[in-house]
Amino acid sequence: MGKTNDSEVEERPKWDNKTEYMLTCIGFAVGVGNVWRFPYLCQIYGGGAFLIPYLIALVFEGLPLLYLEMAIGQRLRMGSIGVWNSISPLLGGVGIASMIVSFLVSIFYNTLLAWVMWYFFHSFQNPLPWSQCPLNDNLTGYNEECVKSTPANYFWYRETLNITPDIDNSGSLHWWLVICLASAWCVVYICFIRGIQSIGKAVYVTTTFPYLVLTIFLIRALTLPGATDGLVYLFTPDWEILKNPQVWLDAATQIFFSLSVAFGGLIAFSSYNEERNNCERDAVLVGVINSATSLYASISIFSILGFKANSAYNSCNEENILILTNHFEFSDQNITVENYDHWFKYLNRSYPGEVAGLDLKHCDLQTFLDQSASGTGLAFIVLSEAVVAMPGSQIWAILFFTMLFSLGLSSMFGNLEGALTPVNDLNLFPKWIPNELVTAIICLISFSTALIFTLGSGNYWFEIFNGYVGSVPLLIVALFEIIGIIYVYGMKKFSEDIYFMTGRKPNIFWKACWMVISPLMLLVVLVAYVVVQAQKRPSYPTWNPDYELFPKFEVKQYPDWVFAIIILLSLLPVISIPLVALYKLISCRMKKSSARALHSPYCNDGFQVEQEERKNRRA
């Protein structure tokens, strides 16, 4: 870690090498959302057709914002709060908003790592605990809740979360989740203990390992029966879906959140760079790798989902075959999966009444492929079920959850850095307290706050934080960022800074995006997002075994007190922007008033001082 003593700014730590910086930025941008959010959006929005609005959003919104943050952090060599205070004291609240968002996101994001650790530890069991239902309390049969749903659902909602029927019923702290959560925060602290020096070493593993696992999964998944069905489903475009405005809104928000802009982490990471570094190339590289990773992961995921759909389709047909074989007293193997359709048409034509009276299921491969899931549902239920059906399921489960942990950990580096760097810049702790202790205090506060996610209602709170902390606040922060740099700091000055760092000024594309296209896109996305959310009162799906339609989710509206917390979480991070600006304006007015009073012609203070000086000279 090189340091110089020329000035306070130049004493800032530096990356040991460029590779560490790039791996850290890529690891921060590439997270679990690339594995479970992007494939889900492709699935519900017309497969390959979704790539069109996604790529447009990447080019005109994502990359310009990414380049903007990397460039300003590298030039001013400060964290988010220092950057915005130096541009204009009125924008100091933007840095505080980024810090609060990063802190809140870190709290719930690390809970995800705790859940992954819980599944990882259980992946060593044979058979996997989510592969079959447990016995009931009387040992006379299988657990009724599990039988009504599926073993994977039961293990997630009952064995892992022990979830309550609704958010009003908090339940108690679950000790197994508390231990996993404490372990996850200990891992994060160990990686952070020496700042970017220890992070720079950890990313060699946490950023590269997921690509190795994805490649292994891809090779294995492509050899599974039904993989081609999944890939055809992924890449077959439904052009009509592009007429739906929601598709464009989700594409814009996905690329925005996927690149992790507005958190302050990228500004902090780039501030440890050398001043003369090609940040344009870095931004394009990180953005392209992030999007390519989403597509690469989707190929693996959809191959596995195709295999799962094919297995479910065959199981459905086999149940029907057994019913037909027993009813018509055919010999075994007479009706097979391959000739089932032919036999069904023949029997239905010859004995329509008898076939209609049988309890046959409607088996359609497209229906199984359409069964979509996102987020925790995709990782801990759908893909967990798919892993069970793969030969050597324990090995694949261990690899899968290790990959998820690596993805989440590398993203946690950026989230926590976005909170820690401003804390240090604000000098919230005395200088004599070492950085290791400051990091430990922040991690301990985060762990204590995150205990809410280990309650029986913890998953409901997780979805609230996931849905509202990182949505509207980040869009508002990004909008103020681009306006602050381009229209307050100045396009001309910013272009000269980029020329100083890279040796060339930004071309017309970057200038057009920064000055017009990107702010307009952000504004449209922000307004559209707020309008969509305001049209209906927020509701949430609950897991309630007593619900008459169980295992379907019972959708409930949030109670008033929770709705108030949702509004608070949406406004709390960004309320600092107008408050700080107002405070600075009032302070400036007061200082100007004081200065005018000192220079008032009716004030005799200056005359009295002059008389005193004359007396002193005579003496």
* Residues of each annotated binding site: 27, 29-30, 34, 258, 290, 407, 411
The amino acid sitting at 557 is: Q
Instruction: Tell me the C-alpha distance between 364 and 312, whole Å.
Output: 10
Q: In 3-state terms, what secondary structure has residue 549?
A: coil
Q: Which two tokens stand for residue 50?
A: 């979704």
197-203's contacts with Cβ under 8 Å and 24+ in sequence apart are 197/1, 197/13, 197/16, 199/20, 199/24, 199/413, 199/417, 200/15, 200/16, 200/20, 200/21, 200/23, 200/24, 201/20, 202/409, 202/410, 202/413, 203/20, 203/23, 203/24, 203/27, 203/410, 203/413
Q: Which two tokens stand for residue 546?
A: 């007593």
Q: Which residues are annotated as a binding site for Na(+)?
A: 27, 29-30, 34, 258, 290, 407, 411
Per the DSSP assignment, residues forming a β-bridge with 539 are 557
**Are 521 and 140 in contact, with CB atoms under 8 Å apart?**
no
Phi and psi angles of residue 142, each rounded to the nearest 5 degrees, phi first = -85, 155
DSSP string computed for 277-297: --HHHHHHHHHHHHHHHHHHH
Residues sharing a CB contact under 8 Å with residue 137, sequence separation 6 or more, in sequence order: none
Closest CA to 184 of 121, 259, 261: 121
DSSP string computed for 215-247: HHHHHHHHTSTTHHHHHHHHHS--GGGGG-HHH
**Are 451 and 158 in contact, with CB atoms under 8 Å apart?**
no
Helix count and strand count (H, E) for the chain: 31, 2
